[in-house]
């Protein structure tokens, strides 16, 4: 088995929210374990548990960068960063729930413009690993390493469309 770039997406409905500080946040389902994606790959729960755990330090240190569209080489470049993952968890129902702060970078501004136009954007996982054919589905192997989640136009998991929130405090003005 050879390791390769594995990208799988979920279409998730995003809604925009902006805070007093100007932060725009996307929240929602980022992935799902034990369910085949549109690409025919299944990510076992134990793999997502392990990989989400590994990402927690980067997330807590504000180093969980993602991009608008997947980079061809699979490597995150700060010059292309569009968002910063701020929360990631795996629920009992197998849903990987996430939160991402959309950055004020060129790619982040493009993402905000797309969302402000009312368009839906999906969330897609990016990692490296191998797969094994089990019953017609490609099951992701133990060697999988999850790098991040990117925003894409056509996700492989049709429920991965997050909601966008403005982290705002009502100051009483109208």
Residue among 59, 52, 72, 38 at smallest CA distance from 158 = 38
* Predicted pLDDT at 31: 92
Instruction: Say how far apart CA 12 and CA 124 lie, in whole Å.
Output: 10
Pair of tokens at residue 133: 């054919």
Instruction: Say how far apart CA 128 and CA 135 lie, in whole Å.
Output: 22
Q: Residue 106 is inside which H or E element, if any?
A: helix 106-116
* Predicted pLDDT at 63: 97
pLDDT of 168 above 60 = no
Cβ neighbours around 23 below 10 Å, total: 18
- Greater model confidence, 155 or 66: 66
CA torsion through residues 88, 167, 109, 159, sign: positive
State pLDDT tens for residues 41-94. 999 999 999 999 999 999 999 999 999 999 988 899 999 999 999 999 999 999
Residue 135 bridge partners (DSSP): none
* Predicted pLDDT at 118: 82
**Residues 6+ away with beta carbon under 8 Å from 94:** 32, 33, 34, 35, 45
Least confident piece of the model among 3-7, 108-112, 165-169, 170-174: 170-174
pLDDT of 2 above 90 = no
Site of tokens 């995150």:
76
* Predicted pLDDT at 13: 60
The model carries a pTM of 0.83
CB 30 within 8 A of CB 37: no
State pLDDT tens for residues 99-114. 999 999 999 999 989 8
Q: Residue 46 is inside which H or E element, if any?
A: helix 45-60
* Predicted pLDDT at 116: 82
What value does the CA radius of gyration of the chain take, rounded to a whole number of Å?
16
């Amino acid at each position: 088995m050879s390791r390769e770039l594995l990208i799988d997406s979920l279409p998730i409905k995003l809604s925009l929210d902006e805070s007093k500080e100007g932060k725009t946040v996307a929240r929602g389902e980022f992935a799902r374990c034990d369910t085949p994606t549109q690409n025919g790959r299944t990510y076992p729960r134990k793999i997502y548990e392990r990989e989400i755990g590994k990402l927690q330090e980067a997330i807590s240190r504000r180093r969980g960068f993602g991009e608008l569209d997947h980079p061809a080489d699979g490597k995150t470049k700060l010059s292309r960063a569009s968002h910063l993952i701020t929360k990631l968890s795996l629920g009992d129902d197998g849903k990987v729930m996430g939160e991402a702060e959309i950055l004020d970078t060129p790619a982040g501004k493009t993402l905000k413009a797309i969302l402000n136009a009312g368009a839906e954007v999906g969330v897609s996982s990016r990692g490296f690993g191998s797969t094994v054919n089990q019953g017609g589905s490609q099951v992701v192997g133990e060697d999988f390493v999850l790098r991040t989640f990117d925003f894409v136009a056509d996700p492989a998991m049709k429920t991965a469309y997050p909601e966008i929130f403005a982290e705002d405090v009502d100051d009483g003005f109208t």
